[in-house]
Amino acid sequence: MVHTHEVDGSCPVCGNAMYVSRLSCDRCGSALEGALALTGQPAARRNGAASAGREADERFGRLARLNDQQLEFVEVFLRCRGTIKDVEDMLGISYPTVKSRLANVLEAMGFGGDEKLTTAPRHARRDILGRLATGEISTEEAHRLLAEVNDEDDDEG
């Protein structure tokens, strides 16, 4: 028997709807090629898979790229307002599994690891304001330090 893979009908690269182009029988070796519509396939996909894919992409944006399991995770994540502990409890999974599924969803949506937001400037500003509040530095020194943090933040972005 030929090894098969389950697919959701969306292109893993761009999210566009895909169509069946080849059917084959593992028993006798017969094959059909071309733009094929399977019985039971939704009419929107049968009658113009490309336009259906574009419509879904326009309506749902990057979310249209997600499979059912990823969409279910996103729904739970949103219901929990992004609180990972609540997601853990609701799904009965560990912290690393939540982080892994979140990374998987972000990757499927086309967001790579290089787009990670840094919190370093925010922490630096809080530290400076804390030092100002305790009198450790003067107002002028705080202004100078905050300007430096903002300049570094602008250079990175």
Amino acid code (one letter) for 36 = L
- Separation of first and last alpha carbons in the chain: 52
Supply the pLDDT for residue 85: 92
Could you report the per-residue pLDDT of 32-86, keeping only the tens digit for each?
Answer: 888 776 554 444 444 444 555 556 556 778 888 888 899 999 999 999 998 999 9
Higher-pLDDT residue of 16 and 135 is 135
CA dihedral 80, 84, 85, 91 (to 10 degrees): 70
* Chain position carrying tokens 């990057």: 62
Amino acid code (one letter) for 4 = T
